[in-house]
Every structure is written in structure tokens, then in C-alpha cells.
Structure 1
Amino acid sequence: MPILFRKAFRIGPLVLNFTPKGFSSWGLKIGRWSWNSRTRAHRYDLPGPFSWRSKGKRS
């Protein structure tokens, strides 16, 4: 099992994601709803350890 490095910086609702190679993606998180620029998937946090995610689209 490889060890992965990932760092996220939050600036209000904007989230910037970085990996060892540099900038990875950005996203928005407003309350329980979030969106990621790389996967273009919407996610909604549900109570407990559950969440719902759309399939997203990649061009």
C-alpha cells in the first residue's frame, strides 16, 4: 500500500488541492455540498459516514 501525499488549502469556500507534482485541482465547498474541477462531480455529505456523489463528466 503506497503512501500518498496530498495537501488542501482552504480560502473560504474555495479549496486548492496539491500533490507532490504541484497543483492538482480546485473545488468549492458550501455547507454539505461540494464540487471538484478535475472530476466535475458534485458531492453531498449525508449524516454519519455516508455521502452522495454524481458521476461527473470529463471531456
Structure 2
Amino acid sequence: MMGIQFRKRQKYGPLVLNFTENGYSSWSIKIGRWSWNSKSRAHRVDLPGPLSWKQDKTRT
């Protein structure tokens, strides 16, 4: 069933804490246009306009 999802982000400098309705979800680091997320372990770079580049870390 689709419904409204609760999301909240708290920023502490380059550190971002992500929360959902179940509580703590993940943390991220954002420095300039580059960011990394602890849950997806993905690197992301913001590009001009609405574009971004993402590289997922492969899990072995």
C-alpha cells in the first residue's frame, strides 16, 4: 500500500543524518558536489542542472 512517507534530515556541517518514520536510517557526508551515503555505500557527484552521477559500491 502506497502512502505518505516521513523523512527528516539533520545537517551538522558536512555530516547529514537521515531519519524515517522508524527512526534513524543512515548518515551521509557531503563535501562540495561530492557525497557518500552509509546505507547504499554509493558515491554521488552533483552535475550542473538536475543531473547527478552515482557509482554504487559493489558488495562481495
TM-score when scaled to structure 1?
A: 0.90
Partner of 2:29: 28
How big is the alpha-carbon RMSD for the aligned residues of Structure 1 and Structure 2?
1.3
Identify the structure with the greater strand proportion: 2
Identity of aligned residues (%): 64
Q: Which residues of structure 2 form unaligned runs of 5+?
A: none
Per-residue deviation, 1:57: 3.5
Structure 1 segments (4+ residues) deviating >2 Å: 56-59
Number of residue pairs matched by the alignment? 59
Question: Is there any run of 5+ residues in structure 1 with no aligned partner, and where?
Answer: none
- Give the equivalent residue in structure 1 for 2:7: 6
